[in-house]
Amino acid sequence: MSIKPEDFQKTKRPLFAVVYDKLYKLIMDGTFPPDSRLPTEPELAKLFGVSRMTLRNALSRLQEDGLVKNIHGKGNFITKFHHNKNMIGLEKLGNPLYKCFTGNIDNVELHFRIELISDYAKQVLNRNMTAVVAIERWYKSNEQAVAYAFTIMAIEAVSELNLDLQDEQQLLDMIDKKIYELANSATIELRRSDSIPSQKYQILNEEDCDLLVESVYISDKYPVIYNKYYIPKESSQITINAVK
């Protein structure tokens, strides 16, 4: 990697833009490959012959573009996002966690319970019901929990979907995949969360998460299920492929 700091002083463009272009090229040509950690900020500032403030401006724009992620206490890392140009976005019906989680998931653990109706359930499900099924899911990679989902549905939806609550694999297949084949629409709201309400497992890098709040509809009257997907920011890429 050959960089001449004096070259940066010859341009009339803002220095941060020149540093951005150089770092962008180094990332795209593989000098800094996906998942690798960038040199420290003092090292990069010295390498480019610029101030820490100029360097941080360039890194901030790379973070906005999804090429670099800053992990608190660890440094700046190259993401895999620039290789995902054909990723299916949230505009299509389908489990949003699988669309947004950038790592590997090799197992999903499920636990459910029957709960009394709460004001919260009435508000988000917007239907008459006698009880609620609350379902937790832990998405795992190499036995480590890496993402979490919380789902609620009316107990009446169990018979409507021909579910057997004693068959946990059937329940998982339905709420994780098949429900999206049956659905005609869904709404998704993107929020931020600084923690994951998972008590059974500690989620890797859970301090800063993307939270996807989803209502899935089979009919237009009310959502059949209501989901909350928690994805650690380090492993999250939100994509929407908008077309006219």
Domain count, the chain: 2
Task: Give the end of a domain, one of 83, 111, 141.
Answer: 83
Q: Is residue 244 part of a domain?
A: no
Parent domain of 65:
5-83
For residue 81, what pLDDT is reported?
Answer: 58
CA nearest 25: which of 67, 57, 56, 53? 67
Residue 8 has pLDDT above 60, yes or no: no
Helix, strand, coil percent values for the chain (each to nearest 5): 30, 25, 40
Residue 53 sits in the same domain as residue 111: no
Residue 145 sits in the same domain as residue 213: yes
Q: Is residue 91 part of a domain?
A: no
Q: Is residue 140 part of a domain?
A: yes
Residue 66 sits in the same domain as residue 173: no
The 3-state DSSP class for residue 95 equals coil
Task: Give the residue, 242 or 94, on which the prediction is more confident.
Answer: 94
In one letter, which amino acid is 212? Answer: L
Task: Give the end of a domain, one of 39, 60, 83.
Answer: 83
Residue 95 has pLDDT above 70, yes or no: yes
Q: How far apart, in whole angstroms, are the C-alpha atoms of residue 212 and residue 230? A: 7
Residue 177 sits in the same domain as residue 224: yes
Q: Is residue 149 part of a domain?
A: yes
Q: Is residue 89 part of a domain?
A: no
Q: Is residue 110 part of a domain?
A: yes
CA nearest 211: which of 198, 224, 202? 198
In one letter, which amino acid is 105? Answer: I
Q: What is the mean pLDDT of the chain?
A: 88
Task: Give the end of a domain, one of 55, 83, 111.
Answer: 83
Measure the CA dihedral 22/25/30/35, to 10°.
70
Residue 177 has pLDDT above 60, yes or no: yes
Confidence (pTM): 0.73
E strand or H helix at 186: strand 185-193
Q: CB of 132 within 8 A of CB of 155?
A: yes
Q: Is residue 240 part of a domain?
A: no
Task: List b or e across 84-96, with b for residues whose CB sees 16 or more CB atoms inside 10 angstroms.
Answer: eeeeeebeebbbb
Lowest-pLDDT range of 53-57, 60-64, 187-191, 224-228: 60-64
DSSP state of 82: G
Measure the CA dihedral 61/63/67/69, to 10°.
150
Residue 75 sits in the same domain as residue 178: no
Residue 167 sits in the same domain as residue 105: yes
Residue 86 has pLDDT above 70, yes or no: no
Residue 3 has pLDDT above 90, yes or no: no
Q: CB of 221 within 8 A of CB of 127?
A: yes
Mean pLDDT value across residues 98-102: 91
Residue 200 sits in the same domain as residue 124: yes
Residue 73 sits in the same domain as residue 138: no
Residue 124 sits in the same domain as residue 25: no
For residue 189, what pLDDT is reported?
Answer: 96
Residue 204 has pLDDT above 80, yes or no: no
Residue 179 sits in the same domain as residue 109: yes
Q: Please write the tens of the pLDDT for every residue from 142-173.
A: 999 999 999 999 999 999 999 999 999 999 99
For residue 5, what pLDDT is reported?
Answer: 53
Residue 118 sits in the same domain as residue 179: yes
Q: Is residue 224 part of a domain?
A: yes
For residue 14, what pLDDT is reported?
Answer: 82
What is the full DSSP assignment across 229-244?
EEEEGGGB--------
Residue 133 has pLDDT above 70, yes or no: yes
Mean pLDDT value across residues 56-74: 85
CATH number at residue 136: 3.40.1410.10
Q: How many CA atoms lie within 13 A of 11 on its CB side?
A: 13
Lowest-pLDDT range of 9-13, 60-64, 206-210: 9-13
Q: CB of 29 within 8 A of CB of 67?
A: no
CATH number at residue 26: 1.10.10.10
For residue 65, what pLDDT is reported?
Answer: 79
E strand or H helix at 146: strand 144-154
